[in-house]
A and B are shown apart, each in its own frame.
Chain A
């Protein structure tokens, strides 16, 4: 009987320790991966928005040939957005500078959309306002802003879950040993916090 207990202690405990360690390590790896995936998802919805812009420019051009300023702005915003959407999510996850760029690109796009919105509503292009293409595009664009907000929130949750693991008692030790550092938060800029642009006609 005593032998059995001794066996249990000498074999069972180390085994349990190893399995716990393994479990914690795997948990860290999958949280880390989840963070990257959420960045990729944010970039995805950004690219989706960028891809809508050429259609918008085409539609608006037909009605407001002289309104070049807003169109240039939106085209510039688009190229910024496309550029950040192509960044490597793994790099993005650890680099606050790149994250800042991402946020700025989104904010710039939000402003550009609002700019077109304001021009069209205030300066009265009644035909453009009534244009079905235009209405649909603007709805898709503001929907895209909302999608970006949603995916960014999910990203924050994933980073939170990951950081929690790198800091709490046992898994914190494992994380330190294997170089799982806490990740910077992908914080909302003031412009982006204002929510998706509203489309009102």
Chain B
């Protein structure tokens, strides 16, 4: 009996750990109701265009009625986590939060776009594009969003053109071999682990993700160390950080070798973008990995989508 009580207490505690997040209703989530319909659709169009870019990055906006007493940093991260912005394995999402009631605004950047929009850059976007429309009690939410989205789009595009081609001939061959090994491995797992729960598989997937992030962080550190003090004043040739995907030429060796080879058949690169509306039913599989903000609970191997580790910057009155 005590065990059960303890269990319930834990479950309650665990569920309390993530904030209550408004449901994802579209690219522009104007919960506070401060945007006109015309403004909303204009912004929607802009964001749709972003998703046509390489890798199908996703930018979403929320204007919460209230943040429930949370810091904007915490709130933004919880919303990002719940909405799973960005494509699975690439974490290429950006969330713009403007809290009209609390008079705070923030750009939260997914793990995968921290190279394109580092915190310093996010701060610059805030002070150049958003603050002039908002600071000092101003309420030009549309102006702030419009300017910020324009800059963010340009930054993402710049990063894409700077990165080396996704795959060359050799990379593709390696990719195919790794892919085939992956499929074989997958079959073994499928037969052998018939009874083990889906949750366990997700767990492993997450560990692989953590390893990938560690590698990415390490590369970022090396970059920082190498560039010394002129790091921020001069354009730096950025690397592509390893992603879980096997088609990425250079990433294949280090990242792929240590990851459970399950995602190989996923079509991150080829699938058409943007089917809207998230599902929490968990019936989606890896082929729907580019659906918009597909939500939690057990989509078999692809995870739900992107995540953010708190990158970005905040501003406010």
- Residues of chain A touching chain B, judged by Cβ–Cβ distance below 8 Å, are 19, 22-23, 26-27, 30-31, 33-34, 37-38, 40-41, 44-45, 47-48, 51-52, 54-55, 58-59, 132-133, 135-137, 139-140, 142-144, 146-147, 149-151, 153, 156-157, 160-161, 163-164, 167-169, 172, 195-196, 199
Contacts and interface: CB of A to CB of B under 8 A. Distances in A.
A51 B224 contact: yes
A22 B225 CA distance: 46
Contacts of A143: 118-119, 122, 310-313
A161 B206 contact: no
A147 B309 CA distance: 6
B71 A55 contact: no
B181 interface: no
Given A59-B229, A143-B310, A164-B14, A40 B195 contact: no
Given A37-B207, A143-B310, A164-B7, A55 B224 contact: yes
Contact of A41 (B14, B74, B119, B210): B210
Interface residues of B, number: 50
A140 B228 contact: no
15 contacts: A19-B195, A22-B196, A23-B200, A31-B203, A54-B228, A58-B228, A136-B232, A137-B232, A143-B313, A149-B73, A150-B309, A151-B309, A160-B17, A164-B14, A196-B73
Contacts, number: 135
Nearest to A62: B229
B73 A195 contact: yes
Interface of B: 3-4, 6-7, 10-11, 13-14, 17, 71, 73-74, 77, 118-124, 195-197, 199-200, 203-204, 206-207, 210-211, 213-214, 217-218, 220-221, 224-225, 228-229, 231-233, 308-313
Most buried by B among A41, A151, A169: A41
Contacts of B229: 55, 58-59, 133
Contacts of A55: 224, 228-229, 231-232
B14 A167 contact: no
Which of B199, B229, B311 has the most chain A CB atoms inside 10 A of its CB? Answer: B229
Contacts of B207: 30, 33-34, 37
A96 to B, nearest CB: 19
A142 to B, nearest CB: 8
A187 B13 CA distance: 14
Contacts of B196: 22-23, 26
Contacts of A172: 3
The 7 closest A-B pairs by CB, nearest first: A136-B120, A143-B119, A150-B310, A139-B123, A58-B229, A30-B203, A37-B210
Contacts of A196: 73
A58 B231 CA distance: 12
Contacts of A195: 71, 73
Contacts of A137: 120, 232
Given A153-B17, A169-B4, A172-B3, A164 B11 contact: yes
A19 B123 CA distance: 53
A31 to B, nearest CB: 7
A34 B309 CA distance: 16
Given A40-B214, A55-B231, A167 B310 contact: no
A19 to B, nearest CB: 5
Q: Which of A30, A59, A195, A199 has the most CB of B within 10 A?
A: A30
Contacts of A144: 119
A19 B194 CA distance: 10
